[in-house]
Structure 1
Amino acid sequence: MGTHLLQTHRVSKRFKRQTVVDEVSLAVREGTVYGLLGPNGAGKTTLLKMIAGLLHPTGGKILYDGKPWNRKSLEQIGSLIEAPALYGNLTARENLKVHTMMLGLPEGRIEEVLETVDLAHTGKKRASQFSLGMKQRLGIAIALLKHPRLLILDEPTNGLDPIGIQDLRQLIRSFPAQGITVLLSSHALNEVEQIVDDIGIISGGKLRYQNRLDERVDLESLFIEVVRETSGEASAR
C-alpha cells in the first residue's frame, strides 16, 4: 500500500465557456478507499466520468498504474456513475448475463459477483421490483464482473435508507482486501468518515484539500472550512 494506482495531473474540463473541473490533481493510493467530497455542482461527477472514459478531458493528463490512461485501462476499471443501467424486466442473473455476453466473460462470474453483493437469493424477482439499495448493489455487481482493480462509485449511498446505507458501507469497506481500490464521490460526510482512508475536497471545480483521513480531525468542520474559503474567494472576485 502507498503506490498510486490512479493519478490525475491538472485535469480540466470545460463546456463552452464554463470550466467545470479546473486543473485537478488527484493521487489515489492502491488498496485504499478514496473519498472525493464536495457540495453539489462541485465537479465530482464530471471528474469521475473522465476517469471512467465517459468524457474527454479538456486539459491535463490521467495516469493509471503509472502509465498514461488509454482505452485499454478500462479493462481494469469498473464504474457505477449516476443510476445503474438495469433491464427492469430481467432478474439480477439475467441482467448480469447480458453484460457477460457483451464483455465476453464466463457465466461462472455471475454467481461470484452475486455472492459478493449479497443478491444471490433474489431468484426470479425482476430488477424493477428491487429496492433502491438492491438496485445499487446490482449496479456494483455489473461493475465488478471484469475483476476491476479500480472501482469508481458516484454517490453510492444517495437516497438509501439506513439499512441500505449500512449494507453498502460494509460492502465498500470489504473491497480493498479483495485487491480492489475504490474511488467514491459523496457529500454525505458521516458515511464517508466510516469508509475511506484518504479524502479530497473539491469545490468550485478545484481540488482544495487532499490528505489521509486523520481521526483527530473533525471532517465536517474541515469540509465546511474548505468550502467556505472557496465561497469567500468567489465573492471577492
Structure 2
Amino acid sequence: MNNLILQTHNLCKTLGGQQVVNGVSLSIPENSVYGLLGPNGAGKSTTLKMLTGMLRPTSGAILFRGKSWSRKDLFHIGALIESPPLYENLTARENLKVRTTLLGLPDSRIDEVLNVVDLTDTGKKRAGQFSMGMKQRLGIAIALLHNPKLLILDEPTNGLDPIGIQKQRELIRSFPRQGITVILSSHMLAEVEQMADYIGIIAGGVLAYQAQVNPSEDLESLFMQIISEQRKGGE
C-alpha cells in the first residue's frame, strides 16, 4: 500500500458485555477512498466512532500518521457520523457561521466549503427545508471547515434518491485529488465499488478482508462469500 494516514492494531470494543469490535487492524492509504463494508450491526459505526474519539477502545491501538492517536489529531480529522449536526432553523451559511465562530476560523472558509459541496445557491432557505441529500452535503461541509486531512463518513448515501447518490459519489471521489483521505462505511456494495480504491469487509466485529479494489472481481460474490465464511466460523 501507499503511505498510510491511519492504522489500527487489534482494535477491540466491548459494549454491554458484548464484544462489538474484535481485533480490527485497518490500513488506510493516504489520498484514497477506503470503503468499510459490512451488514447492519457488523461493527462499522462503532469502529468509526473509535477513530473519531466518540468511543474509547477497550483495547488495541490507533495510529494517525504513524504516531499514537491523540485528541489533538481531531484537528486533522473531519467526520459525519449518523445524522448531520444541523440547526434546522438556520440557513446553510448561518450553520457554517456558528462553527467558524466556535473554531476561530475565517469566514472565507464558509464560501469555500459551500462551493465544494455545491450549496452556494441555497440563499435564505433553512436547513430544515433541505432535501436529505442537501442535508448530507451540508454535514460534509461542516466536517470540512477546518481543512481535515482525513474525512470519516458513516453511510453517506443512506436515504438518498438516485440523483443525490450520484452527486454524493462525485463529491467523495473528488476529495483524494484535494489531498483528503476518505473512510466511508456502507452496506451498499454497488456504490462502494464505484467510489472506493480500497475496501475492508467487517462481519461480527471482525475485519475478514482488506485489499485494493479489483475492477475485474465481482464484489457482491466476494462479499457474500466472506460474510458466509465468517458466520460459519462463528458458529
Bin for the TM-score computed over the shorter chain: over 0.9
Q: Distance between the aligned counterparts of 2:231 and 2:23, measured in 1?
A: 18
Residue aligning to 2:21: 21
Give 1:161-176 correspondences, 5 Å limit. 161-176=161-176
Q: What amino acid sits opposite 1:228 in the alignment?
A: S
Query: Which runs of 4 or more aligned residues in structure 1 lie more than 3 Å from their structure 2 counterparts after TM superposition?
Result: none
- 1:207 counterpart = 2:201: no
- Relative to the length of structure 2, the TM-score reads 0.99
What are the superposed Cα offsets for residues 177-218 of structure 1, whole Å, 9 maximum, x if unpaired?
000000000000000000000000000000000000011110
Number of the residue aligned with 1:145: 145
AA matched with 1:210: Q
1:233 Cα deviation (Å)? 1.7
Q: Which residue of 2 aligns with 1:111?
A: 111
The one-letter amino acid paired with 2:30 is: E
3-state DSSP of counterpart to 1:39: coil
**Map of 1:155 onto structure 2:** 155
Counterpart in the other structure of 2:220: 220
Instruction: Report the Cα distance in structure 1 between the residues aligned to 2:14 and 2:101, rounded to whole angstroms.
Output: 36
Give the deviation of 1:230 after TM superposition.
1.3
> How far 1:16 moved relative to its partner?
3.3
How many residues matched?
Answer: 235
C-alpha distance in 1 between matches for 2:104 and 2:62: 27
Amino acid at match of 1:34: Y
Q: Deviations over 1:21-46 (max 9, x none)?
A: 00100000001000000000000000
Indicate yes or no: 2:179 matched with 1:182: no
Shift of residue 20, structure 1, vs aligned partner: 0.3
Could you tell me which amino acid in structure 2 is paired with residue 114 of structure 1? L
Give the residue type in structure 1 aligned to 2:132: L
Q: Could you list the runs of 5+ residues in structure 2 that have no partner in the other structure?
A: none
Give me the whole-angstrom Cα distance separating, in 2, the residues matched to 1:99 and 1:3.
Answer: 31
- Corresponding residue SS for 2:112: helix
Aligned to 1:82: 82
Percentage of pairs with the same residue? 64
Of stretches 16-25 and 175-184 in structure 1, the one that deviates more from structure 2 is 16-25
2:136 paired residue number: 136
Deviation digits for residues 48-97 of structure 1 (CA, Å, limit 9, x no counterpart): 00001100000000000000000110000000000101000000000000
For residue 234 of structure 1, report the CA deviation from its aligned partner: 2.3
The residue identity in structure 2 corresponding to 1:211 is: A
1:7 aligns with 2:4: no
CA distance in 1, matches of 2:143, 2:20: 26
The match for 1:99 is 99
Residue number in structure 2 paired with 1:197: 197
Provide the rounded CA distance (Å) in 2 between the counterparts of 1:45 and 1:95. 25
1:194 aligns to what SS in structure 2? helix
Question: SS at the partner of 1:23?
Answer: strand
Residue 127 (structure 1) aligns with: 127
TM-score by length of 1: 0.98
Provide Cα deviations, 1:153-192, integer angstroms capped at 9, x if missing partner: 0000000000000000000000000000000000000000
Distance in 2, matches of 1:72 and 1:196, equals 27
